[in-house]
Chains A and B, each alone.
Chain A
């Protein structure tokens, strides 16, 4: 397991609740994740996976409970925390009318990255897009967009990467590239991934979490998990699903 600059725990979540009115998107979620781990979050639609990640990435505030990412509170230390996290989503989060380079330079400005030009060049090279750096991203294939979006997420050298179903909509080739990119950076990042794909999610993770109806149904290290029983638990939650 790798090391990041987060000393100790990457995630500490206590009694995390998110509710508006009577329906609770999250209901007393608790777990801790060690630094350098790879967490896969499973659960049916409406289980609260996206809400959980939005809270951990400071985009939403919890209604009750606390969450610390890298030891930083998601509410009170939000601004500092934003320097430490990156997000790779199934949506590229890039401006289609800007070139690859302009997109990265823009976000480099938002993060206040020193020597942005060099950093952007290096990243474009590492995701093998330097030959397309002056093309607007509207012309990019899905796989190229995903690679560029990984470069965007890595710009400010975050400690924790959040992946929101990064594999959805990718062709097999693009999936392979994403696999190898994740393998490359796995050593010095903590990962939190939302996934619908049990096989993929289990293959990558060191820890697994199943959410249903905003509650933690199962949380464990992968080594302690019996895959058959795990699949059975997952299947039973899909039934309780979309409440």
Chain B
């Protein structure tokens, strides 16, 4: 049984990748959204000019962009399944429901990470030139991005499974998703800040925030995993 679940997991993930590589739907819309966000940031920051050290607000700005960007991808990922009733065909097949959850989450995580990795250098290029560099090792940034994106994709996949069946799905996903993500976002901003700004004790602070993120991931993913069968079967 475990073997067939693994094969099914790979099949669903591969199917999502093939469709994305063919249409570029999610990556393009998420990427464009990230760039638009930066234009809006430029407007927001413009009057502050040199008086503001952009590095201080950058962690927050990054995560605001990421969370709203993720909403686009999450919505799309279930519209595909719903379009021609594919989700019914999937549910008719002998697949354990959690396999669908993990495969869809993994796909969403992958797309999110790709766009995050692409947009981060652009962000640095547009806003951080001439500023002091990052003092702590840059891989710390990768750690927090990965860990927080895991939580975003997991809980987001569960919620998108619900909201795709509602009226006004896009808005509703934002309404239920953003407040649920608050603890995770707060910790992600804290960890990113510690990683970028550095200073004495910053690595300890970083790992303290990472504990929060890890705790959130474990608790929320377990709950989402437990709830998925009910939600997708409804």
Chain A residues with a Cβ under 8 A of chain B: 57-59, 79-80, 82-83, 85-87, 89, 91-98, 102, 106-107, 109-112, 136, 152
Contact = CB atoms under 8 A, between A and B. Distances in A.
B188 to A, nearest CB: 32
Interface in B84-122: 84-86, 88-95
The contact size tier of chain B is 20 to 34
Contacts of A112: 4, 7, 94
A136 B84 CA distance: 14
Interface string B1-34: 0001001101100010011001100000000000
User: Looking at chain B's contact residues, is the secondary structure mostly helix, strand, loop, or mixed?
Assistant: helix
Contacts of A98: 15, 18-19
A58 B92 contact: yes
Nearest to A57: B92
Contact of B84 (A91, A102, A109): A91
Contact of B86 (A82, A86, A93): A93
B83 interface: yes
Given A79-B94, A110-B94, A89 B85 contact: yes
Interface in B54-96: 80, 83-86, 88-95
A4 to B, nearest CB: 18
Interface of B: 4, 7-8, 10-11, 15, 18-19, 22-23, 80, 83-86, 88-95, 233
Contacts of A95: 15, 19, 80, 84, 86
B23 A110 contact: no
Contacts of A83: 94
Given A109-B7, A110-B94, A112-B7, A97 B22 contact: yes
A95 B78 CA distance: 12
A83, A85, A102: which has the most chain B beta carbons within 10 Å? A102
A39 B15 CA distance: 35
Shortest beta-carbon contacts, A-B, top 10:
A109-B11, A93-B89, A91-B85, A110-B93, A82-B94, A97-B19, A93-B85, A106-B15, A112-B4, A79-B94
Contacts of B10: 109
Contacts of A152: 89
Given A59-B91, A82-B94, 12 more contacts: A79-B94, A83-B94, A87-B89, A91-B85, A93-B88, A95-B86, A97-B80, A109-B8, A109-B11, A110-B11, A112-B94, A136-B22
Contacts of B89: 87, 93-94, 107, 152
B93 A111 contact: yes
A92 B91 contact: no
B90 A110 contact: yes
B90 A96 contact: no
A94 B18 contact: no
Contacts of A102: 15, 18
Nearest to A61: B233
18 contacts: A58-B92, A59-B91, A79-B94, A80-B94, A82-B94, A87-B92, A93-B88, A94-B84, A96-B84, A98-B15, A102-B18, A106-B11, A107-B93, A109-B8, A110-B8, A110-B90, A110-B95, A152-B89
